[in-house]
Structure 1
Amino acid sequence: MADNFSDLINESLPAAPVSHYNFPALIFGILLIITVTAGNVLVCLSVYLEKALKTTTNYFIVSLAFSDLLLAVLVLPLFVYAEFQGGVWTLNMTICDGLMTMDVMLCTASIFNLCAISVDRFIAVSIPLNYNRKHVDYRQLILLSATWLLALAVASPVIFGINNVPNRDTRECKLEDNNYVVYSSVCSFFIPCPIMVLLYFGIFRGLKRWEETRKAKLRSSIEACRKLQRSSVVGGALPPMMGTIPGALPMPLPRIIERDLAQSRMDDSGDYIQQEIPYPRQYRENSVPTVRFNQQQVKKRAKINSRERKAMRVLPVVVGCFLFCWTPFFVVHTLRALCLMCNIPDALMSTVTWLGYVNSALNPIIYTMFNTEFKKFFKKCFRSCC
């Protein structure tokens, strides 16, 4: 009887509060927010302040950095708060719906910005003569606007109340409609990513063809210079010239041409450089006119300059990191919506979500490591500050 009475008392008393705060998630989340904010602010400021960085590609990178910055300001603090509470949502459900809207929109904007960059680069390789490298034209404005408008369109059902389902659990903040989960995942990830991969495949095929054509022209230019020199030595007189050699050389000096051919790159210095073809000493002593070349004409003949090829190397790294960070999330997220009988642990869902957010901190690091112009600006900023 005594035992039954004590059990009754214990059942009537409120349960003792159990500490379920996730302090590691709080510390990691704060560090992630600081890293994402600082890195992407630096990217935006560098393009705004540095004239050499005001290029078309970098405007798309600024749009990507801006979406990551908004993610750090509007989404990550609330996500860190929920993780610190052990995954239990204690705030208003209106705030939850706002969080879900911004999360879907900004993650979608990030991948759409990467897709827009690949489209822009594909156009630059396919029709380089009609591509504006220095100023944003209408086509690029349309691409930039479309990324944000489409991202807003994907996230808009949450704004219009698709999360307001019957018997909604107010202790958990998530997307409630499984059909919308599949729809948003397909629109945000599973359609744009294959498009990006195909575009980059086409870009690198175009670059390979361009390199082969350039090398062939370099070889023919080398032979033209050598024949000109041999004919001038044997004939004893310099052949008549019209100020240039047929088929202007990408690099005028044969020695520089051969070095350039070995290194598979072009010099990207100066708008106009007067360069000379060496002739035998007797002709130089008699002050024979030298052949001069306009570097601007050389650049017009080239489809892509070396600065753009440097950008081409960094962008696939950005895309690769994005796919590595976000693919697990979208696969697990979609699987949980499609397979209602599957038991996906909360710890796995939390891990893949963190991995996706880490991508927002990786992009500025990638720019620093692989892009010379960004690296120079960051070094200059750190030297002035420190």
Structure 2
Amino acid sequence: MSSSPGIKSREHVDMVYISIETAIALASVLGNVLVVVVVCVNRALRNTTFCFIVSLAVADIAVGVLVIPLAIIISLGFSTQFYTCLFLSCLLLIITQSSILSLLAIAIDRYLRVKIPTRYCIIVTQGRAYVAVCLCWILSFLTGLVPMIGWNNRDAQANHSSSSEIVCKFTTVIRMDYMVYFNFFGWVVVPLTIMIALYAEIFRVIRRQLNRRAEATCDGDRYYRKELKLAKSLALVVFLFAVCWLPIHIINCIDFFCSKCYLPKFATYIGIFMSHVNSALNPLVYAFRIKRFRVTLVQITRRCMLCKSTEPTPCPTSTPAITEKVDANL
């Protein structure tokens, strides 16, 4: 007996979905592993800003290694116990939250650098940067695991015993009011709003300082021009995050506030794809926008893939001046 057209169509959609997600996962892992390697190889990039960028890269690697495979498994609707499915779904939320908190930490770091440039190195030390990264990840785990302590759809599965199995779907175990009110409004909209305000202030301060030095050539002018270039690159990372993640959250809001509204399945898939693609875009921004990162990446590529020797990255023997530190970032 031949298979029904509906089953064949479903299998085709699943294969397309899995193929696209696999390609995104590979690109995300490869690109962000290179980010970590570049920062490790080039000592000039081992500063507080790139400490947070590495944290973001680790979160993006986790997207490729954990989130996308889990998303594929959950989309196929395998059968498991309720809390097993809930924990797997919470892992997706933890990684997402770590990304946005790392972006917020980067924005705060750049704000302090232009707002208090003379005291920045005293206040923002490498040790404090490591503590901030740890706090970002701890907070991500705490907020992502909230459904595990009760804010979930367990009541909707009351007719199932604790040992019975369910078809594992994200919306089956995660409550939509949690996704909209707590996750989106509380931990996406608020941090994004703060980041937009911080970058707006960063650009205002830099423009004001550059206007004051318009008729003079000095180290301060060079410092703020370099800061402006890096701030634009990092603001682009935030912009791409917002563009890639807002669609899936908007779909969740429509589903929650307008349960009778029709949402085509492909719209949900596009929203999921865009949220995952974001993890593969950040390395491209660094490579095309940050010169020192791009140079180091080219050197690594020539050495590892083309078997060519590279010139060592020059490292200053004395403590660099404030403008030289900015050059290292760019």
Structure 1 distance, partners of 2:236, 2:122, is 21
Structure 1 distance, partners of 2:123, 2:295, is 19
SS in structure 2 opposite 1:62?
A: helix
Deviations 1:230-289 (A, max 9, x none): xxxxxxxxxxxxxxxxxxx727xxxxxxxxxxxx963xxxxxxxxxxxxxxxxxxxxxxx
Q: Which residue is equivalent to 1:4?
A: none
- Asked if structure 1 preserves the Cα contact closer than 8 Å seen for 2:210 and 2:225, the reply is no
Please state how far the C-alpha of 1:105 moved relative to its aligned partner: 1.0
The TM-score with structure 1 as length reference comes to: 0.69
Structure 2 distance, partners of 1:133, 1:108, is 29
Change beyond 3 A, Cα 1:196–1:23: same
The TM-score with structure 2 as length reference comes to: 0.80
Query: Residue 237 of structure 2 is aligned with which of 292, 304, 318?
Result: 318
SS in structure 1 opposite 2:71?
A: helix
Query: Residue 128 of structure 1 is aligned with which of 96, 117, 141?
Result: 117
Please state how far the C-alpha of 1:66 moved relative to its aligned partner: 0.6
Size of the aligned set, in residue pairs, is 290
Structure 2 distance, partners of 1:44, 1:382, is 14
RMSD of aligned residue pairs (Cα, Å): 2.7
Percentage of pairs with the same residue: 26
Query: Residue 368 of structure 1 is aligned with which of 279, 287, 305?
Result: 287
Query: Residue 92 of structure 1 is aligned with which of 80, 96, 99?
Result: 80
Deviations 1:47-83 (A, max 9, x none): 112112112211110011011111211110121344x
Q: Which residue is equivalent to 2:47?
A: 55
Query: Residue 64 of structure 1 is aligned with which of 56, 71, 89?
Result: 56
Paired amino acid for 1:208: R
- Asked if structure 1 preserves the Cα contact closer than 8 Å seen for 2:107 and 2:195, the reply is yes
Query: Residue 27 of structure 2 is aligned with which of 27, 35, 50?
Result: 35
Structure 1 segments unaligned to the other structure (5+ residues): 1-14, 219-248, 252-263, 267-303
Paired amino acid for 2:36: C
Paired amino acid for 1:173: F
Structure 1 distance, partners of 2:255, 2:6, is 31
Q: Which residue is equivalent to 2:170?
A: 173
SS in structure 2 opposite 1:92?
A: strand
Please state how far the C-alpha of 1:112 moved relative to its aligned partner: 1.2
Structure 1 distance, partners of 2:122, 2:34, is 22
Larger gyration radius, structure 1 or structure 2: 1
Change beyond 3 A, Cα 1:95–1:125: same
Paired amino acid for 2:201: G
The structure, 1 or 2, with the larger RCO (C-alpha pairs under 8 Å, 6+ apart) is: 2
Q: Which residue is equivalent to 1:286?
A: none
Q: Which residue is equivalent to 2:302?
A: 383
Structure 2 distance, partners of 1:380, 1:134, is 33
Change beyond 3 A, Cα 1:327–1:17: closer
